[in-house]
Amino acid sequence: MKQITVELSESSYAVQIESGLLSRAGDLLARHARGRRMLVVTDSNVVTHVARDFLGGLNAAGIDTVVHTLPAGEASKSWEQLSVLVDWLLANHVERSDHIIALGGGVVGDITGFAAHIVKRGCNFIQVPTTLLAQVDSSVGGKTAINTAAGKNLVGAFHQPSLVLIDPDVLQSLPRRELAAGFAEVVKYGLIDDPEFFDYCDVNVQAFFDGDSGVRAYAIAHSVQSKARIVAADERELTGTRALLNLGHTFGHALEADTGYSSKLLHGEAVAAGMALAFRYSVRRGHCSVDDAARAASVLHKAGLPTTLNEAGVTAGGAELVEHMLHDKKKAGGTLPFLLANGIGQTFLAKDVDLADVASFLDEEAQSQS
Ligand SMILES: NC(=O)c1ccc[n+]([C@@H]2O[C@H](COP(=O)([O-])OP(=O)(O)OC[C@H]3O[C@@H](n4cnc5c(N)ncnc54)[C@H](O)[C@@H]3O)[C@@H](O)[C@H]2O)c1
């Protein structure tokens, strides 16, 4: 079993990664249960594909469970579903020392973590991520949130899990498109500050999608290690280090907003197109070589991810997309910081970006593809 520790000043925790881990999780979780029932939150797809093995393992270890099933999909990160979830936790007499389990993708993890944060002024929770995106990104680092009418993830809290259990085998039932969306976040770690890992992703992209268990396990563990390192350096996103994890997200959020935060464009797909745009915009500003921008787009393309506005299904003009960006919560003092790159593995935060220039760039991008 691979174990990675997320070293935080107040609340370090372990991320355990192993094939087949979920069906054996009962023994690991028994000490967290302390003889009490465990409250498991999942979604309507995960309950079909993954939950039976996991719950069976818990029951075999003598842990009783109660399960709350959210409707699958981003729309569940809502006030309505939060309210239902909180009422369910309270109706089940959750105590602060209980461990609420989030079994699912980023949607289940984000809303369950937020519910755990607000119920009884903070309960423990355990992340059991079942999508690639959740395994390599959202389950580690303690960001929790729901969406509101004003935008995505605008209501939330930092609430670290007490344990993260990752079983790469659960990805077998994940649709290919969701797997690719998560792969965008894997490639992101290479693009941020790890050119060797970028090369690994480039060389092994086919093996990864063919289901090579060694490649998958390595890519997941290396990504978690990168995320743990960056989060440990800047847990609350105060120094700029953690902001590097938002590579592709400012462009990406605008693309998601234009496509209505819908299944037309998944979050990871928006990040992929956003990273390709950030690299090409870096070329335009003279930071990055054309060659590096092309290499960044190429590995994403090989994974079947969108790398242009057209492929992302975006129809809005540059000015409209910039307007979406201004709703991004990372807007500070009326300016918009952008993550740009000097090359593969050389991402930096630029605070002097002219939004009119970004709008022109996006218009030119759209024209060059029409
Ligand atoms: N908290 C963070 O730091 C952070 C970071 C990145 C993204 N996010 C959030 O994560 C969310 C996206 O997460 P996601 O991509 O995991 O989406 P998701 O949770 O919606 O899962 C994607 C789909 O896969 C299904 N699914 C999950 N596991 C499965 C499995 N093993 N087999 C078959 N189907 C399965 C789900 O039911 C859903 O239909 C967004 O809301 C985003 O804002 C949060």
CATH number of the domain bearing residue 12: 3.40.50.1970
Residue nearest to atom 16 of ligand 1 (CA): 105
The reply to whether 282 and 147 lie within a common domain is no
Q: Find the CATH number of the domain harbouring 314.
A: 1.20.1090.10
Three-class SS state of 135 = helix
DSSP letter at 261 equals: T
In tens, the pLDDT along 125-171 reads 999 999 999 999 999 999 999 999 888 899 999 999 999 999 999 99
341 C-alpha vs ligand 1 centroid, how far in Å?
27
pLDDT attached to residue 19: 95
Whether the pLDDT of residue 10 is over 90: the answer is no
pLDDT attached to residue 329: 53
If you average pLDDT over residues 285-294, what whole number do you get?
Answer: 98
148 C-alpha vs ligand 1 centroid, how far in Å?
18
How many other CB atoms sit within 10 Å of the CB of residue 246? 23
Percent of the chain at pLDDT above 90? 89
Q: Bigger pLDDT: 11 or 51? A: 51
The reply to whether 228 and 213 lie within a common domain is yes
Helix, strand, coil % in the chain, rounded to nearest 5:
55, 15, 30
- Within 6 Å (CB) of ligand 1, which residues are found? 43, 45-46, 49-50, 72-74, 77, 104-108, 110, 130-131, 133-134, 137-138, 141, 143, 153, 170, 173-174, 178, 181, 267-268
pLDDT attached to residue 135: 98
The reply to whether 301 and 239 lie within a common domain is yes
Q: Among 229, 200, 211, 243, which Cα is nearest to 347's?
A: 243
Whether the pLDDT of residue 308 is over 80: the answer is yes
The reply to whether 235 and 321 lie within a common domain is yes
Q: Among 335, 323, 330, 327, which Cα is nearest to 359's?
A: 323
**Final residue of a structural domain among 173, 204, 223:** 173
How many other CB atoms sit within 10 Å of the CB of residue 30? 15
The reply to whether 166 and 195 lie within a common domain is no
282 in Cβ contact with 340 (< 8 Å): yes
Whether the pLDDT of residue 348 is over 60: the answer is yes
139 in Cβ contact with 161 (< 8 Å): yes
Whether the pLDDT of residue 78 is over 70: the answer is yes
pLDDT attached to residue 333: 56
- Mean pLDDT of the chain, nearest integer: 95
If you average pLDDT over residues 27-52, what whole number do you get?
Answer: 93
The reply to whether 18 and 109 lie within a common domain is yes
Mutate to test the pocket of ligand 1, among 267, 269, 329 (most ligand atoms within 8 A of CB): 267
Whether the pLDDT of residue 332 is over 60: the answer is no
Tokens, residue 122: 């903070």
Residue nearest to atom 2 of ligand 1 (CA): 138
Measured over the CA atoms of residue 211, residue 215, residue 219 and residue 220, the dihedral's sign is positive
188 C-alpha vs ligand 1 centroid, how far in Å?
17
The reply to whether 238 and 364 lie within a common domain is yes
Number of structural domains the chain divides into = 2
Predicted confidence band at 260 (pLDDT cuts at 50, 70, 90)?
A: confident
pLDDT attached to residue 343: 98
The reply to whether 25 and 84 lie within a common domain is yes
**Final residue of a structural domain among 158, 173, 188:** 173
pLDDT attached to residue 353: 94
Whether the pLDDT of residue 58 is over 80: the answer is yes
Residue nearest to atom 13 of ligand 1 (CA): 106
Range(s) of the domain holding residue 201: 176-369
The reply to whether 39 and 74 lie within a common domain is yes
pLDDT attached to residue 222: 98
The reply to whether 106 and 142 lie within a common domain is yes
**Final residue of a structural domain among 125, 149, 173:** 173
Tokens 């344990």 -> residue: 163
pLDDT attached to residue 262: 85
How many other CB atoms sit within 10 Å of the CB of residue 25? 26
User: What is the position in ligand 1's atom list of the atom closest to the CA of 132?
Assistant: 16
The reply to whether 319 and 207 lie within a common domain is yes
360 C-alpha vs ligand 1 centroid, how far in Å?
33
304 C-alpha vs ligand 1 centroid, how far in Å?
18
Residue numbers annotated as active site: 121, 143, 185, 227, 237, 242, 246, 249, 253, 267
Measured over the CA atoms of residue 130, residue 131, residue 134 and residue 137, the dihedral's sign is positive
Cα–Cα dist 128/113, whole Å = 12
168 in Cβ contact with 17 (< 8 Å): yes
133 in Cβ contact with 181 (< 8 Å): yes
pLDDT attached to residue 152: 83
pLDDT attached to residue 330: 56
The reply to whether 197 and 168 lie within a common domain is no
User: What interhelical angle do 195-210 and 176-193 show, nearest 10?
Assistant: 170
Tokens, residue 166: 């990752």
Enumerate the β-bridge partners of residue 17.
Answer: 2, 166
Sheet holding 99-104, edge to edge: 2-6, 13-17, 163-166, 124-129, 99-104, 38-43, 65-70
Predicted confidence band at 245 (pLDDT cuts at 50, 70, 90)?
A: very high
Cα–Cα dist 248/239, whole Å = 19
Whether the pLDDT of residue 334 is over 60: the answer is no
